[in-house]
Amino acid sequence: MKHTKIGLVGLGTVGTGVARILLENRARISRACGQDVQLARIADVDITRERNLNLPEGILTTNYEEILNDPEISVVVQLIGGLDVERKIMLQMLEAGKNIVTANKALIATCGKEIFDTARKCKCSVAFEAAVGGGIPIIAAISESLAANEICSIEAILNGTCNFILSSMEKTGGDYSTTLSQAQKLGYAEANPAMDVEGKDATQKICILSQIAFGADLDWTHVSRQGVESVRGEDFQYAKSQGYTIRLIASAKRVLENSLEVCVGPCWVRQGTQLAEVDGAFNGVSVVGDAVGHLFFYGQGAGEMPTASAVVADIIDTICGRTAITFNTLNLWNDETCGKISFASPDNIKGEFYLRLVPKNAESQEEIIRILEENEVLVAVTLPNLAGGTVPENPAFAILTNETSEGTLCSVLNSLEQKNLLQQKPVKMRVLR
């Protein structure tokens, strides 16, 4: 019987889950692959930590080069985070003729072209289902199951930490800082949550999906991005008064033939819709195709076993040869398409927006409204005052705009700040109809 040996680099949370599945379900996985599948070597910087995992004796090493230099290991699963070390190891593995399975979205989003060019040159493949959406098979769905479609748009909740924070604030009325602390205690947020709460994690993921859906090679650092740090309890009250809630939405939509509207930020989402119902640390992805219409994918976007499930599925596809076929036919991050699709101009991005503004005084508020109207940012709805009891001297006021361009609105808000009409930075959220 044929056999395949696997090397695993990184035995953290997800790596432990992958090792558990490969060891405990070896017979079933081998049947699925039509050959014996063996986890042969695991490299990690710390091989003494207790992992509640029964590993074969001698399988652990601190030296990843033992995997690199083993000619019998043909599939390498890389589950270490970061960029520099991960990039170096991945390129070395590819140059040694090993196929890669990874969950590192930062590396794929930042170095995708270099990695895929190297894989093509070395006649290897790279599988990365677990890089976006955890256990949700969204990459396979878009790249394979929806291959007959031109993708029109993607709107997604891609970060479980932010969704836990926002859905908790919605339920409890708690403030951002308190809710973040609770998320950290429960293990839903890192000690340093910046990558999540600043929207960087979701931005990297939507850029990966944009490559698959639209062929766009986007610099994720240039995406229009807002985090959730500025969301307050009153924003949820205003949203609820109009039949909405708030979620961090990563979206990509074709605007013109060769340009995409890509943005990440808190949005008003209509209550009762599928995205609004995504609760806690779950993820949800809404995809519209020209033939299939609207589809919605939902599931656990992180965690040991959901992400490990996606990784092991990629391992099986790689061993069976399915990954090699799709890798070659999709031809992601290739010279022909890279650079041909760019970010849409903000003037071409239209939408309706929620604004929460805190003017310096009553005169400032009048001047703010005058400037908005002068620039054709028309007030569709003036939201009710939430102050209750004694009205503060300079209360915040909130409005919903008519359709306007992102470029015009950003220019107007910058002008309000420069004219010193506001006590604090304005809060802006797109309204999803």
Kindly list the catalytic residues: 205
Mapping DSSP to helix (H, G, I), strand (E, B) and coil, where does residue 257 land?
Answer: coil
CA distances for 401 relative to 13, 383, 406, angstroms? 45, 11, 12
**What whole-number distance in Å separates Cα of residue 386 and Cα of residue 237?**
8
Radius of gyration of the chain (CA): 24
Mark 169-196 as b/e (b = at least 16 C-beta within 10 Å): bbeeebebeebbebbeeeebbeeebebb
Mark 300-316 as b/e (b = at least 16 C-beta within 10 Å): bbbbebbbbbbbbbbbb
Strand 73-78 and strand 60-61: pairing? unpaired
Element (H, E) at 360: none
> DSSP labels for 26-95?
HHHHHHHHTSEEEEEEEE-S-SSS--S--PPTT-EES-THHHHT-TTEEEEEE---SSHHHHHHHHHHHH
**What whole-number distance in Å separates Cα of residue 194 and Cα of residue 217?**
24
Strand 126-127 and strand 99-102: pairing? parallel
Q: Yes or no: say if 75 and 98 are a contact pair by the CB < 8 Å rule.
A: yes
